[in-house]
Structure 1
Amino acid sequence: MTEKECSHHKGKRKKLLRRICAGLLIFNLILLLLLLITWAILQPKKPRFVLQDATVYAFNLSAPNLLSTTIAVTIAAHNPNSNIGIYYDKLAIYATYSDQQITYYTSIPPVYQGHTDVNIWSPYVIGTNIPVAPYNSAALSEDATAGSVMLFIKIDGRVRWKVGTFISGKYHLYVKCPAMITFGGQSTGVVVDNAVKYQLAQSCSVSV
């Protein structure tokens, strides 16, 4: 085979490779466009959360401004999408009072939530001798004396959306659930063994 014929065959191979690469690129662009159109049409709705109940085992404020808390909560998470699944990644739940965190983070295991599914989680939020800001300590004592303390159960984490075989990147999930804890003559709780259980059924605010 002459040098001219070799060059001719090499040129054909290069053209063929360029065409294959161009075809793959066009195919991927079309696939991406279809996924984006599908995503826009489906318009994924953020999940809905309800704080069903809270069982208080310990809620003790001691000097100097130290708070110990043990609360078991039941939270329902609902995926309202009929065509989109949700991956919950790295979820952490905790309690706050007056914007101050009063328990440690408790991890909720990662889970995939199918179309319109509901997941129920029953974690504990616990804090032992957590330092409380002096002004919050005074306010907390006043609230407890008055017979009611407003806590917030919060969830921080990451979610991903699943449409068909497509899985999105991670989005920040923030959930905030009000939990009114009552004491003394105003208590709405029911004594269960060594704890007090409050039926709350509170809708939570959700941002993604």
Structure 2
Amino acid sequence: MYTPDRLPSRSTPGAHARTTPPHPASSVPTGPREPQQPCLQVNMCRFLGVFIAWLVFLTFYCGSVYVPHAHPPEIYVHEFFVPGLDQATALKNVEISFNVTVRNPNQNIGIFYDSMNGSVYYNDQQIGTKPLLFPFYQEPKNTTVVADVITVSSQRGTELMGDLAAGKVVFRLQITSTIRFKISTWDSKHHQAHASCDISVGRDGTILPISKDKRCPVYFT
């Protein structure tokens, strides 16, 4: 019924029956979404990985190849004696005795001696050689005594007599060692250390003062 104070309402058939269908994705349950790592964190992880790899390489290089501030062993000749030097059979199956000291001059670096050999030369000709010490480790600032005998033989009697007439005979004691430097817990690569000791002896075969307690030059190969 129409009344003056109320407007007539108009309804559309089926208007209340239509509803918006739900989105298919909204009806599928999903788990908690994993948070994505920020770019800064990823870059930091990469940087740390590269830095650690470089640090490991540098440590290996310093420990195995390059030994900073490592000094070679110091070798001194104290005694050297050639018996029967003034005899006609000199340098024929003669036992030359010697006494040298090997010092590690490094403050915080030890030295492994994996092998050590001694050789005697006369006029640049090797006349005798033998192994010396067994492998050993030398602490920093430590000295090791090497006293041994090397049997020598040479046919250069004419040259020897000429040197004796001049008042002295010069021999060379060559000490070759295979060594490794020890820094903290790392060992260096192997080095060949050569000590070349020129030794002058008198007619009685004893070392002359000019060569006694002399430091021998050392070089690496």
TM exceeding 0.5: yes
**Counterpart of 1:147 in structure 2: which amino acid?**
G
Distance verdict in 2 for CA 1:92–1:201, change over 3 Å: same
Pick one of 137, 146, 152 that aligns with 1:121: 146
- Equivalent residue, structure 2, for 1:8: none
- How many pairs are equivalent? 170
Q: 2:166 aligns with which of 146, 153, 159?
A: 146
Query: For residue 35 of structure 2, what is the aligned residue in structure 1?
Result: none
What is the TM-score normalised by the length of structure 1?
A: 0.69
C-alpha offsets along residues 74-107 of structure 1, whole Å, 9 cap, x if unaligned?
1111111111111112211121111111123243
Query: CA–CA distance in 1 between the matches of 2:213 and 2:123?
Result: 21
Alpha-carbon distance in structure 2 between the residues aligned to 1:122 and 1:145:
29
Higher strand share: 1
| Structure 1 stretch displaced more, 39-48 or 70-79 | 39-48
Q: Any unmatched runs of 5+ in structure 1?
A: 1-22, 190-196
Pick closer, same or farther for the CA change 1:36–1:77 going to 2, 3 Å: same
Change (3 A) 1:167 1:24: farther
CA contact (8 A) 1:87 1:161 kept: yes
Give the superposition deviation at 1:153: 0.9
Query: Which residue does 2:182 correspond to in 1?
Result: 162
1:110 aligns with 2:135: yes
Q: Is the 8 A contact 2:110 2:137 kept in 1?
A: yes
> Are 1:97 and 2:122 counterparts?
yes
State, as a whole percentage, how many aligned pairs show the same letter: 21
- How far apart are the structure 1 equivalents of 2:149 and 2:116? 14
Distance 2:159 2:103 in 1: 35
- CA drift of 1:172 comes to 0.8
| 2:219 aligned with 1:207 | yes
Q: SS of the residue aligned with 2:129?
A: coil
Cα distance in structure 2, aligned partners of 1:145 and 1:43: 46
- Please state if 1:171 is matched with 2:191: yes
SS of 2:105's equivalent in the other structure is coil
Gaps of 5+ in 2: 1-47
Structure with greater proportional helix content: 1
* Cα distance in 2 between the residues matched to 1:98 and 1:62: 18
> Which letter does structure 2 place at the counterpart of 1:48?
E
Superposed displacement of residue 164, structure 1 = 0.6
Cα deviation, residue 157, structure 1? 2.4
Preserved contact between residue 72 and residue 193 of structure 2 (Cα < 8 Å): no
Residue of structure 2 equivalent to 1:11: none
Per the alignment, residue 100 of structure 2 pairs with 75
Over aligned residue pairs, what C-alpha RMSD do you find? 3.0
Structure 1 counterpart of 2:32: none
Q: In structure 2, do the counterparts of structure 1 residues 24 and 125 end up closer, same or farther at CA, with 3 Å as the change threshold?
A: farther
Q: Which moved more, 1:165-174 or 1:29-38?
A: 29-38
